[in-house]
Each structure stands twice: as C-alpha cells, then as structure tokens.
Structure 1
Amino acid sequence: MTFRADPPDGVEDRGGDLDTRALLALVARHLDLRMPEIVAEMRDLLASRIDDLGGDPQLVEMLHGSIEGNVTTICHILTNDIDVDSLQPTTAAVEYAARLAQRDVPLSSLTRAYYLGQSMFLRLGIAEVERLDIPEGMKIEVVRGIADAVHRYIDWILQFVSTVHDEERRRWWNTRATLNAAVVLKVLRGDALPVRGFASETGYSLAQSHLALVAWSDVDDSDPERQRETDHALRRIGGALRSPVPPLVTAVDRSTAWAWIGSPILTEQSLADTAALVQTVPGLRLALGTIAGDVAGFRRSHEQAVAARLVALTSPRYRGSTVVTYTDPQVALVDLLTKDAASTRRWVLDVLGPYAVPGEQARLVRETLAVYFSCGENAVRTAEVLGIHRNTVRQRVDRFWKDRASHSSDGLQIALALRVYDDLPVES
C-alpha cells in the first residue's frame, strides 16, 4: 500500500512509502522517554491487582526492576528489529521469578502479571501511534507491528521464567526441608540447642505455643510435585488456624512431612477450615497434636501428632478420616492402649467374652451397651439415642449380664473395652 503523506520527524520517506520499521522505532523512542513513568504505573497496577505480588517492599522493588528490564527489552526490539531468539532474559526478570518461587507464590500469579503488563504496554503503544500524523491505514500497520513484537516477546519470556520458577521452587523446597530436618531432629532428640539458634536456622521460634502436624499422602505418587503441594497446603492451614507466623515444615520422605504451627487458635471452625484445605490435595491426610508451649511443648505436640497418625493408619474407625486430632479423646485412648496392641486385644476378649466375636447379635449387644454406659446406665435415654424401644435396651443389657460368668462384671472395664473394640478388632 502506498501513502502520500509527509513522514513524521525521524522517519524516512522511501520513494513515497512510509517505512513501518522506522515508525515502530519512533514509537519505541517515545515510550523509552517515558520509561520511569511507565514502569512506576505498571508496578503499581500489578501490585494492586495481584495480591501475591504486592505488600512486601523487597518484592515490590524486585517487581520494579523486572518490569523495567522487560519494557526496555521490548523497546529495544521495536527500535532495532531484533528477533527474540537472539535475546537473553534480563537478570532482574530471572531473579524475580526465582524469588517468587522461594516465597511460594504460584506460577499463575507470575503469568498473570506478564499478561497484565502486556495489555498495558499495548495500550500505551496504541496511544503513541494515535499521536502520529500518518494515514489511518498506516497506523493499523504500526499497531500490528507493535502487537506482534510484544506477543512474541511475552511468549518467549514466559517460557523462560516459567522454567526458572519451577526449577527454583523444587530446589528451594528440597534445600529448606533438608536443612530444617537436621535442626528439628536435634530438638526432638533433646540435644542442646539455643532457642535463638533454632530461630536463626529455621526462621521459627521455639518461644511460643506450638501445634504439631504430620501430613502424609495415601496416593502412591513419587512425583516431587506432591511435596510442594503438601508444603503449600500446610502453609494455608497455618492461615486457617490464625497463626501470626509462617509454619515450620520439614520433609520426612517423599510422602510425609512434619510441621509446627506457631501460636495457633484451634476452634471447631478452624478445624473445619483445615479439613476443607486438606481435601483440596488428593490423597492428603493430616494428624494433629495438641497445643503446647516452648521447647517441651514442641516435642510433646509432635509426639501426639505422630501417635494420632498411627491411630489413623491402624484404627478401622479412622482409616477414612482425612484429619485426625489428638484432642479427640478416642484417639488419645486408642493411642494409650495400642502401645501393646496384642495385650489389649487379649484384654478386650477377656472383658467382653462371647460378645467380642463377629456376628450381628454380638454387634447389637455391644452397640447397645456402649450407648447404655455413655448414658449413665439409663435405659430410657439409651433407647432415645438408638431409636429403639426401651424394652429392647433392657433385653440386650439383661442378656449380657446373664452371661456374667464368661466375661468381666466390672462396669468401668466393660465400658472401656467397648470404647476400643472397633479400633482394635478382636479375632475370634
């Protein structure tokens, strides 16, 4: 297409045809002159629109450097007609992607930042083209040239920083988890370690209340990405438990992690929120200790979380539970009795006698007796709980007591044996 118009200053008229490349370079020079203003505006936009990218002064400063490097590169491409394959990413862009990975900011946030920046740069470029005194058809050609260059650059740089983010995320998590594990084991063993030294090594203070967690996966998956998913879930759980500090997380193996939440608030709602977060990671399960203070509490809560995990793995009652907590009296009781599971099974058999065997009749008697003792041996209340007639309750209770010679006659022992029967099934 041939245009007959006076070219803008700095643009050569080659035999009456305006040079599109020269016009692109002119637009790029105009944008470059406004670089500080553009970078500041883009930084403020991204920091306000994407929560993960703002707030932290260090991250904002690094965001500023990354934007400046990317905008400068795009202007350079437009000015000199450079192919993206010959480029090297700016140090600021690479460092920013790595830092976001270290802060556990998801790749989706970084990607969105680039697309928002792309949209803003195109808007600014189009505004500059509109100021040029050239025919409308030529303006369209220049806008197309800008859009093509920007799209090619964003596609290229996103591939590069995505790789950087992914590699750094894996490396950083593995390194941090390994370092934490060595220091944590010293405390759990009771080795001498100054409280301040522990904080400097891990970033987590022992001088506070702690809630220990054990997280593991029931999914047979050796993908290291599972570690990152578990780590991210534990950090979100720290927020759900209203902890004012980041949790301490350390890897035990590819499918298991230990964690401590500092100064948490444990309520029915926070536990419900925790369970909901666990369910967002397929196969993930969680065991919690109780809240305890200082170094001794750090150890004790962990011991309880480990015990709760054992109950979750061995008890039929809890095998389907995604979250098991030591604050559940049943969990603590089962933990106590599973210290010697074989002896406990024999004891349950002695206490319940013929009613410790499989079968529907024995099950109905056990179920009725369990509620009967929990209701203070009140047949009427037991009937209401079970939704059966009180005479049925009395018949089942009487049937049990008639066989007194074949089982224990101590009510406390019977009630306790009934409590743990479903957690320690007795073989006939």
Structure 2
Amino acid sequence: MTSGPDPAEEHSADVAELLALVARQIDMRMPEIVREMRDLLASRIDDLGGDPQLVEMLQASIEGNVTTICHILANAIDLESLQPTTAAVEYAARLAQRDVPLSALTRAYYLGQSMFLRIGMDEAERLGVRDRVKIDVVRDIADVVHRYIDWILQLVTGVHEQERRRWWSTRAALNASIILKVLRGDSLPLRGFASETGYTLTQTHLGVMAWSDLDADDPARQHELDLLLRRLATAVHSPAPPLITVVDRSTAWAWFGGARLESDALARVEELVMAVPGVRVTLGEPGRDVGGFRRSHEQAAIARLVALSSPRYRDRTVVSYSDPQVALVQLLTKDSTTTATWVREVLGDYAAAGEHARVMRETVAAYYATDKNAVRAAERLGVHRNTVRQRVDKFEATLGARGVDPLQVALALRIYDDLILDGGDVLPS
C-alpha cells in the first residue's frame, strides 16, 4: 500500500515557495525600498548624513545587503557560502576613514533590519494563505534576516576596526612629518600644509598634548585618545576637525583651530578628560598663524613638563599654561635643586616636612597675602589674631640677622609645594 504525501514535507515546500515569492516581490520594489531605507538612515543617524558621497555609498551598501537577503530567501542559501557585498565592505571602510564611530554603523544595520522585517511581514500579509502558513513564512523571514545581520555585522565590524587602525596610523605618520617641519621653522607653503593635513595655518591655534598611562599598546586605547581629542576640540568651540599626530604609542599632539578658551569650555574639557581613566591633557594658549601654531605647542609642552614634575599638578588630569603658576614653575624647575636650596634658605627651619612647619608656612603666607594684616589673616585661617601675630613673630625671629624680605618670603612660600615633595626631597632636575 502506497502512503500519501507527507503533510510536513508539503508544508515546508509551500513555505519555501512562498519565501521565494516574497523575495521576488521585494526585489521588484528594490529601488523604492532602497531609497526609503537610505532616507531613513541618513535622517536618523547624524554621522551618516550630510556628505553626498557617504550617502551615495550608503545607498549602494543598502542595495547590496537587501539583494543578498532576497537571494537567501529565494534560494535557501547557507550563510557559510556567502561573501559580503563589495559595497558593504567599502562603506564600512570609508566610515572608518571619516572617523564615523562603529556605533553609527551598527545602529544603521539594526534600523535597516527592522525596516526589512516590516516590509517582509507586509508582503506575507498579501499572500492570501492560511494563518499557520503565514506565521511560518514570517518566522522564516525573521530568522534569515536576524542571522544575516549578525553575520554581516561581524564582518563589517572587523573591516571598520582594521581600517580605522590603518588609516589613523597612516594619517598620523604623514601629519608627524610635515608638522615637525613647521615646528622646526622649515619653509613650507601654507597651501601645501593645508592640502597635506586638511588643516590651515592661517587661523588661531590651540596647542594640546594628551597621553595615557594605561594600556599604551592597546589599539582601542589609542583610538580612545583620538576620539577624546576630537571631543575636546568641540568643547573649546573649534569649528573644524583638529590636527592630530601621534608621538608614540601613548602620546598625541593636537591643534584646535579657532578654539576659544572660555571658563565653561575649560570646565567641559576637564569633565571629558576625567571620563577617560588614565588620560591627562595639557593646553597652551591660543596663538595666531604659524608663530601661534609653534608657540601654543611650546606652551602645551611646558604645561606637560610641569604636570609630570610638580607635586602641585601631579594629580591633575588637565593642566593649562594659562594657569599663572605654570610658567613660573617651569622657569624654576629648569634648575630645581638650586631653587629648592634657595627656598630652604629663605624659609629656614620652616622649609622642613611636618605639621608644625606646614602650619607656620600657611600662617605666614596668609599674613603676607593680606598685606601684613593680622586680623584679616586670622579670619582667613579661622584662628585668633594673637595666634597669627605670635606665629609671625616666631618666624621672623628664626630668620635672625638675615632679616625678612617680604617679597622673597612670599615667593618662596608660593613655590614651596611646587618643588619640594612631602618628605622634603628635592625634585629631580
């Protein structure tokens, strides 16, 4: 006795045919669907719109991906036998070159996935088949789309990351060569510099240095440093992308064109830097044209030296040359041993470590800062005026025959914490 056809096999065959029919219907509407997806992604994701060339590449990538999904639906193709479309690969690489974050690319794929599922379900509704069959068709469409998006995202993520590292490294090396020529004072056509780096010298510049104390060999960390510098440029109201060059695996130099160092901008800079553990930043002051390009960089370098060598600044994430103390500390740290010896000569026993000496220095500093007014100094310190008077008399008596030069004492007190460690050790020159 011959058995009849297997209902399960017949059902599977029916679903396969219906999937192929849905794929053909979508393929017939391909230009319309691609345009709709392109417009949606360009409007919903800021990083993907605004550049006609990127929008054109986005359209080609969408078309390639939608065509591939339709091909899978129509022919039941395994993902293992697929190759990513050239347009999708090229688009991921171009986004990396334009410093568009991977998150924007990922979001684009998920938005595209949602839109394709909606289109697929709409086509399934038009099939006019039993609900059970329709449900299976929709389930299979969703399964194919989800697996494809997972597969293609893994591929384009790798392409984006690899291209970002290659592009950043190549760009940084090119920038380094031409930047060093400007810093050395070599003659260089201004137009040539702009064409090579995309940054013009005929503007106001803010020199910046950034470095990381953590995971210096991690490419992701280097990229994090690059992204931070770009955010800082925005924080100081720079209207164009910054000029960035890599000095070593953990250090980068940058210039922000047209930056404005307002108080709110500096606060925002500190906030952004503190959000990236292990990173420190120094800033020069805005300077104009080629001379300003060099001088602002020099100032950032001076601030970095102070940030690395001075106890006052060693825990600060951001150090600006605009801080009046920075330039003074730099001058004194050129010969820190001699300067520290002079401080001890001026302050005598009160240049020593310990709580008693610290309280005495604090009292004398307040006394001279208030123009030798014991009452005001006492109010500032929260003690009785007689206490201030007694401490000052003791300090002046300790200096003996050498006498007291208020200017020298005030200066010595001001730089004490910048040049001498808590234990009284002189900082290295």
AA aligned to 2:23 is A
Per the alignment, residue 7 of structure 1 pairs with none
AA aligned to 1:133 is G
Picking from 65, 69, 78, the partner of 1:70 is 65
1:223 maps onto 2:208 in alignment: no
Cα deviation digits, residues 143-183 of structure 1 (max 9, x gap): 12211211221111111101101101111111111111111
Per the alignment, residue 398 of structure 1 pairs with 393
Distance in 2 (alpha carbons) for counterparts of 1:128 and 1:406: 101
Cα deviation digits, residues 255-314 of structure 1 (max 9, x gap): 111111111111111111111111121100011111111111111111111111111111
1:287 maps onto 2:282 in alignment: yes
1:127 maps onto 2:122 in alignment: yes
Identity %: 67
Q: CA deviation at 1:406?
A: 6.4
Q: CA deviation at 1:102?
A: 1.5
Q: CA deviation at 1:427?
A: 4.1
Picking from 40, 54, 61, the partner of 1:59 is 54
Shift of the 244–75 alpha-carbon distance from structure 1 to 2, 3 Å rule, reads same
Per the alignment, residue 163 of structure 2 pairs with 168
Shift of the 143–427 alpha-carbon distance from structure 1 to 2, 3 Å rule, reads closer
1:339 maps onto 2:337 in alignment: no
Shift of the 46–214 alpha-carbon distance from structure 1 to 2, 3 Å rule, reads same
Q: How many residue pairs get matched?
A: 418
Shift of the 139–362 alpha-carbon distance from structure 1 to 2, 3 Å rule, reads same
Per the alignment, residue 268 of structure 1 pairs with 263
Q: TM-score, structure 2 length as denominator?
A: 0.93
The runs of 5 or more residues in structure 1 that have no matched partner are: 5-13
AA aligned to 1:206 is L
AA aligned to 2:253 is W
Shift of the 290–15 alpha-carbon distance from structure 1 to 2, 3 Å rule, reads closer
Cα deviation digits, residues 116-140 of structure 1 (max 9, x gap): 1111101101101101121111111
Contact 1:213–1:287 (CA under 8 A) maintained in structure 2: yes
Picking from 308, 322, 336, the partner of 1:327 is 322
1:422 is paired with a residue of what secondary structure? helix
Shift of the 216–16 alpha-carbon distance from structure 1 to 2, 3 Å rule, reads closer
Contact 2:210–2:225 (CA under 8 A) maintained in structure 1: yes
Shift of the 18–372 alpha-carbon distance from structure 1 to 2, 3 Å rule, reads same
Contact 2:215–2:221 (CA under 8 A) maintained in structure 1: no
Q: TM-score, structure 1 length as denominator?
A: 0.93
2:334 is paired with a residue of what secondary structure? helix
Picking from 229, 247, 258, the partner of 1:234 is 229
Distance in 2 (alpha carbons) for counterparts of 1:26 and 1:377: 94
Contact 1:352–1:407 (CA under 8 A) maintained in structure 2: no
AA aligned to 1:136 is D
Per the alignment, residue 363 of structure 1 pairs with 358
AA aligned to 2:249 is R
Picking from 83, 86, 89, the partner of 2:84 is 89
AA aligned to 2:363 is T
Distance in 1 (alpha carbons) for counterparts of 2:10 and 2:310: 88
Contact 1:291–1:301 (CA under 8 A) maintained in structure 2: yes
Q: CA deviation at 1:378?
A: 2.2
2:206 is paired with a residue of what secondary structure? strand
Distance in 2 (alpha carbons) for counterparts of 1:408 and 1:236: 53
Shift of the 282–119 alpha-carbon distance from structure 1 to 2, 3 Å rule, reads same
Distance in 2 (alpha carbons) for counterparts of 1:406 and 1:82: 98
| Runs of 4+ more than 3 Å apart | 14-18
Q: Please list, as runs of the form range in 1=range in 2, the aligned pairs for 1:96-135 lying within 5 A after superposition.
A: 96-135=91-130
Picking from 364, 377, 383, the partner of 1:388 is 383
AA aligned to 1:32 is D
Contact 2:216–2:222 (CA under 8 A) maintained in structure 1: no
1:423 is paired with a residue of what secondary structure? helix
2:419 is paired with a residue of what secondary structure? coil
Contact 1:351–1:407 (CA under 8 A) maintained in structure 2: no
Contact 1:32–1:75 (CA under 8 A) maintained in structure 2: yes
1:257 is paired with a residue of what secondary structure? strand
2:207 is paired with a residue of what secondary structure? strand
Contact 1:350–1:408 (CA under 8 A) maintained in structure 2: no
1:160 is paired with a residue of what secondary structure? helix
Distance in 2 (alpha carbons) for counterparts of 1:53 and 1:200: 24
Per the alignment, residue 178 of structure 1 pairs with 173
AA aligned to 1:167 is Q
AA aligned to 1:177 is A
Distance in 2 (alpha carbons) for counterparts of 1:57 and 1:423: 54
Per the alignment, residue 293 of structure 2 pairs with 298
The runs of 5 or more residues in structure 2 that have no matched partner are: none
2:315 is paired with a residue of what secondary structure? coil
| RMSD, aligned CA | 1.9
AA aligned to 1:292 is G
